[in-house]
Structure 1
Amino acid sequence: MERRSFIKASLALAAYCGVPAMASLFVRSAQAADNIADGSASAFDFSTLKTMAANLAGQPFGGPPAELPKTLAELTPQAYNDIQYDANHSLWHDVPGRQLDVHLFHVGMGFKRRVRMYSVDPQAHMAKEIHFRPELFNYHNAGVDTAQLQGRDNLGFAGFKVNKAPELTRRDVVSFLGASYFRAVDDTYQYGLSARGLAIDTFTDQREEFPDFVAFWFDKPQPTDTTFTLYALLDSPSATGAYRFVIHCEAERVVMDIEKHIHARTAIKQLGVTPITSMFSCGTNERRTCDTIHPQIHDSDRLAMWRGNGEWVCRPLNNPQKLQFNEYLDENPKGFGLLQLDHDFDNYQDVIGWYNKRPSLWVEPVGDWGKGSVNLLEIPTTGETLDNIVCFWQPAEPIQAGQDLSFSYRLYWSGEPPVSSPLSRVKATRTGMGGFPEGWAPGEHYPATWARRFAIDFVGGEIKAAAPQGIEPVITPSRGKIDNIEILFVEPMDGYRVLFDWTPDSDSVDPVELRMFLRTRGSVLSETWLYQYFPPPPDKRKYVDDRQMS
């Protein structure tokens, strides 16, 4: 539960890991420039950054962040939000006809990490630092005593956001803020789930570690570019890293090509590559916390995997009553991600969160990643204010101190993933009372054995064409009995619903693993549906009639 304490204390994004002593790694000069990059020029390219990260790994970790000035440390969330970057000082303000621009986030409140920012001339391979000064921001009603900030050019920044034309001063499409968190949007301009640069010990017997991006370098783009290159230095007690992001701000989505080189300072029990953080409170399958006006509340509804052996898997997300961690073993995965595939407003009725607009995030590995697992952590939550879902790739072998690792991959932030199975896919998963025929209910004149009913909807692929030959659900439970199987064509969704009951064979309340796919005459028709069900205790396995007739 350290994750929830961390996220709550830092408003879901701030970092509490230490900052390195990096005075020897950067050049500082009082020399001014016409643009906001006022530092002296020094040579920089990706090889320079990789050397920097490797050298930093050989130095002791610098410890926690230094204290902020009181006027910043005591900011309320509302006051912090009142601080806005001055668009007249944007990073690429001097690029005529620019399609992209960068605004910087102020340090303060829970955002204690002093992140350093650099502007890079990619033709000359030279970088200049951007030093903090109050005139870069509009403080509005934040109540900040700017006198406490004068001469504090070492404050740095908390992060940045990237705006895209035509709304260069109003709408951002990419944001990096807190620890190594970052997000992007599709053409709905609605942020949702987050990615991170690295996760360490997310689910072990040790406290989770949240590495920080401690410096960023921005290649200056050409006026018509909608793609930009960003470099980042990562640091934490256990690891350092050099990152290159090539970020494509397309019309309908954002695509990130990422190359990273990690150096382990210490042995790491669990290294999370490509970590994704999301929220699932309730949906079509999990109704326990949906006692609200909203039919569903979630940033993502499923973990999707395209395994190295070619199998497509749909694992609906849960909001369990106790923390759950699952490993899905694989070798050289083709892709995976947390998806939000239901974009119908009627299914959410939310005019604040706009969950129907939230993007999916798909990870496409570049090259062979070898053996490992796609890991899924599901944390109990009572609402929608805390991220409670984490997904990441974990290499099979533990990481040793001094070990170097490299990964390349592509992230797609979009309503739909960039690839999809030619097979029939899961549209929705529903659960409810079982043990009686569909259209009836248990009661005084119809005694029933307690069971849980599942209804899984499949659409697309060749399922309709295969129907005359017969559709066979292949259902495998880890324990218990499957019966009352039905297959129905549902005209409104132009697909098929598979219904079945799961009946317990013991009093155990341990999770039940369910697995199903559809086939016809030996040929696979659908992706594989995986589900984790939590049976109630024996005294709760009964139909409760709460009617009051007088």
Structure 2
Amino acid sequence: MNRRRFIKASMALAAACGTPALATFFSRAAWAQESGIADGSTRTFDFSVLQSMAHDLAQKAWGGAPRPLPKTLADLTPQAYNSIQYDAGHSLWHNIENRQLDVQFFHVGMGFRRRVRMFSLDQSTHQAREVHFRPDLFNYHDAGVDVSQLEGQPDLGFAGFKVFKAPELARRDIVSFLGASYFRAVDNTWQYGLSARGLAIDTFTDKPEEFPDFTAFWFETPKASDTTFVVYALLDSPSATGAYKFTIECEETQVIMEIENHLYARQDIRQLGIAPMTSMFSCGTNERTMCDTIHPQIHDSDRLSMWRGNGEWICRPLNNPQRLQFNAFMDENPKGFGLLQLDHRFESYQDVMGWYNKRPSLWVEPRNAWGKGHVCLMEIPTTGETLDNIVCFWQPEKPVKAGDTLNFKYRLYWSAEPPYHTNMARVYATRTGMGSFPEGWAPGEHFPEKWSRRFAIDFVGGDLKDAAPKGIEPVITLSSGEARQVEILYVEPFDGYRILFDWYPTSDSVDPVEMRMFLRCQGKAISETWLYQYFPPAPDKRKYVDERQMR
């Protein structure tokens, strides 16, 4: 599944319709040019109204696929679609002098067929007015769009929106909502990376994955000096509806989103994904198969980090597996989890197109009791960096039945570093390679013929230096095979310790090997827990040949 191109070009995987309940709730005013770009009639609106709308909508059948777009928009190429630019002179808050924030809209077209409705909301009077589509809001440049096909279609709507912050107003956006319920944000590098979603449904079941849509947004008009704004969203899909409130803080070094949702199930849902995020991992320090390029590493995120409800910290390096893998990590009332990008050195990527060293991490902090469930991780095989192949979300333990109502509150932190980390030693990097021979040598006639795989896990921080004279003990647990040649080395360049061990198979099985390790000193844990999933080769591949052909 090409998730990255879904974000960029939709692919219409989340095909859903306009919202009948919404259409009846907000009547459209006659087409007329008024002050600002919000030209609809006024209606009272607040979060309780939105919750009622989502609840009532869930009692009705899903409206189905979106209506066809005018041919001139439906047939756009990606290059033509990208050449359509919103006119900054018609931005949502253009009339606010000395403003810190502003909003522009994305045009429908190509795979972006969902007609999303936009409303301007006066937070003091709770009066909302719709912003209707009209061609003069956009500059079409050389897109080849026949504008005459778009005239007089105020219900054409928009595909999404993007947010700008001073001093980069109208030049570089910092938040983007586009495609189904996908959205992204940047930190102070201005570089987008992984994406979040409003909701995930049946990501890993025997049913096709369902992609809910945000079908309407309401923007509270901020004060000129505000760097925080509130936007409400209505979510709709065949299985569920939802009312969302986003309070988005656009800080100097990060974007923080406070999210509250109220979900209403239309039908039974096998797998509900809360706070889902989508990323890309092609290759890194631990997985080198797909790194046959000039780039040492290629990834938006390199690990899943979890702060469990019992206080344990987990580091799970990501993989690009040969076959799809799905793992569920049980927890109760998790303190947080996220997909992290912690290596911000240009030398690690040598990439001047994707700038992976600048990509942010995304951390989820639950703000109410989530109860029992699982942090789920799906890793999809990918042959390159254009495919988003990593999915992570929280799955509640209790099955969702038609008619159920659920409420989740959480924060999303888009930043270079997560807002929280353990005071114990942390995993710095994971590396793998050939085993069965001493470091500095190579396999040959003087060393054992038996094949093994070497693992090097680097730890930094915490009390490692104080613990070293007392004795550091790696505690290694394996689901199969044996760990031998365990070594503990101090590594001066990163001022930490490297734990080396060779994994030897004890059977011909090619099932994934679940590995677990933490560091202990005098019976006390002094590091976060490292988890890893290793895929052993077939028995006939477990050998060393001429060193120019080692595998």
In 1, distance between residues paired with 2:96 and 2:8? Answer: 34
> Any idea what the Cα deviations from partners look like across 1:119-138, whole Å, max 9, x if unmatched?
00000000000000000000
Aligned to 1:330: 331
Matches within 5 A, 1:101-500: 101-500=102-501
Aligned to 2:52: 51
Q: Is the 8 A contact 1:97 1:223 kept in 2?
A: yes
Deviation at 1:21, TM superposition (A): 2.6
Deviation at 1:483, TM superposition (A): 0.7
Deviation at 1:436, TM superposition (A): 1.1
Q: Is the 8 A contact 1:33 1:39 kept in 2?
A: no
Deviation at 1:169, TM superposition (A): 1.2
1:21 partnered with 2:20: yes
SS of 1:71's equivalent? Answer: helix
Q: 1:312 to 1:187 in 2, by over 3 A?
A: same
Of residues 347-356 and 444-453 in structure 1, the stretch that sits farther from structure 2 once superposed is 444-453
Q: Is the 8 A contact 2:9 2:112 kept in 1?
A: no
Q: Is the 8 A contact 1:38 1:128 kept in 2?
A: yes
Aligned to 1:100: 101
Q: Is the 8 A contact 1:323 1:378 kept in 2?
A: yes
In 2, distance between residues paired with 1:459 and 1:10? Answer: 36
SS of 1:342's equivalent? Answer: coil
In 2, distance between residues paired with 1:471 and 1:268? Answer: 47
Deviation at 1:448, TM superposition (A): 2.8
In 2, distance between residues paired with 1:191 and 1:547? Answer: 39
Of residues 24-33 and 204-213 in structure 1, the stretch that sits farther from structure 2 once superposed is 24-33
In 2, distance between residues paired with 1:194 and 1:281? Answer: 16
Q: 1:25 to 1:7 in 2, by over 3 A?
A: farther
Q: 1:541 to 1:12 in 2, by over 3 A?
A: farther
SS of 1:143's equivalent? Answer: coil
Supply the AA of the counterpart residue of 1:183. Answer: R
Q: Is the 8 A contact 1:7 1:14 kept in 2?
A: no
In 1, distance between residues paired with 2:252 and 2:100? Answer: 12
Q: Is the 8 A contact 1:17 1:237 kept in 2?
A: no
In 2, distance between residues paired with 1:461 and 1:233? Answer: 44
Matches within 5 A, 1:36-47: 36-47=37-48
Aligned to 1:61: 62
SS of 2:540's equivalent? Answer: helix
Deviation at 1:478, TM superposition (A): 0.4
Aligned to 1:72: 73
In 2, distance between residues paired with 1:162 and 1:74? Answer: 27
Deviation at 1:443, TM superposition (A): 1.3
In 1, distance between residues paired with 2:343 and 2:383? Answer: 22
Aligned to 1:530: 531
Supply the AA of the counterpart residue of 1:483. Answer: R
In 2, distance between residues paired with 1:447 and 1:531? Answer: 26
In 1, distance between residues paired with 2:457 and 2:300? Answer: 20
Deviation at 1:5, TM superposition (A): 5.1
TM-score (norm 1): 0.98
SS of 1:109's equivalent? Answer: coil
Deviation at 1:10, TM superposition (A): 6.3
In 1, distance between residues paired with 2:26 and 2:216? Answer: 10
> Any idea what the Cα deviations from partners look like across 1:165-192, whole Å, max 9, x if unmatched?
0010101100000000000000000000
Supply the AA of the counterpart residue of 2:306. Answer: M
Runs (4+) off by over 4 Å? 5-10, 12-15
Deviation at 1:445, TM superposition (A): 3.4
Q: Is the 8 A contact 2:2 2:387 kept in 1?
A: no
Supply the AA of the counterpart residue of 1:141. Answer: D
In 2, distance between residues paired with 1:416 and 1:177? Answer: 25
Q: Is the 8 A contact 1:173 1:185 kept in 2?
A: yes
User: Aligned residues, how many?
Assistant: 545
Deviation at 1:253, TM superposition (A): 0.3
Q: CA RMSD in A?
A: 1.1
> Any idea what the Cα deviations from partners look like across 1:380-431, whole Å, max 9, x if unmatched?
0000001000000000011000000000000000000001100000000000
> Any idea what the Cα deviations from partners look like across 1:505-546, whole Å, max 9, x if unmatched?
100001000000001001111000000000000000011215
| Structure 2 residues without counterparts, runs of 5 or longer | none
Deviation at 1:18, TM superposition (A): 1.5
In 2, distance between residues paired with 1:375 and 1:76? Answer: 35
In 2, distance between residues paired with 1:547 and 1:50? Answer: 64
Supply the AA of the counterpart residue of 1:474. Answer: V
SS of 2:304's equivalent? Answer: strand
Supply the AA of the counterpart residue of 1:276. Answer: M
Supply the AA of the counterpart residue of 2:365. Answer: E
In 2, distance between residues paired with 1:326 and 1:64? Answer: 32
Deviation at 1:6, TM superposition (A): 6.4
Q: Is the 8 A contact 1:100 1:162 kept in 2?
A: yes
Supply the AA of the counterpart residue of 2:350. Answer: Q
Deviation at 1:547, TM superposition (A): 4.5
Supply the AA of the counterpart residue of 2:316. Answer: R
In 1, distance between residues paired with 2:426 and 2:545? Answer: 35
Aligned to 1:35: 36
Q: Is the 8 A contact 1:14 1:177 kept in 2?
A: no
Q: 1:196 to 1:457 in 2, by over 3 A?
A: same
> Any idea what the Cα deviations from partners look like across 1:248-305, whole Å, max 9, x if unmatched?
0000000000000000000000000000000000000000110000000000000000
SS of 1:79's equivalent? Answer: helix
Q: Is the 8 A contact 1:14 1:178 kept in 2?
A: no
> Any idea what the Cα deviations from partners look like across 1:110-169, whole Å, max 9, x if unmatched?
100000000000000000000000000000011100000000111000000000000101
In 1, distance between residues paired with 2:9 and 2:361? Answer: 19
SS of 2:20's equivalent? Answer: coil
Supply the AA of the counterpart residue of 1:28. Answer: R
Deviation at 1:440, TM superposition (A): 1.3
In 2, distance between residues paired with 1:176 and 1:461? Answer: 39
Q: Is the 8 A contact 2:78 2:110 kept in 1?
A: yes
In 2, distance between residues paired with 1:6 and 1:283? Answer: 20
Of residues 538-547 and 433-442 in structure 1, the stretch that sits farther from structure 2 once superposed is 538-547
- Percent identical pairs in the alignment equals 70
SS of 1:443's equivalent? Answer: coil
Supply the AA of the counterpart residue of 1:305. Answer: M
Deviation at 1:7, TM superposition (A): 5.5
Q: 1:478 to 1:387 in 2, by over 3 A?
A: same
SS of 2:466's equivalent? Answer: helix
In 2, distance between residues paired with 1:26 and 1:125? Answer: 14
SS of 1:422's equivalent? Answer: coil
In 1, distance between residues paired with 2:3 and 2:433? Answer: 35
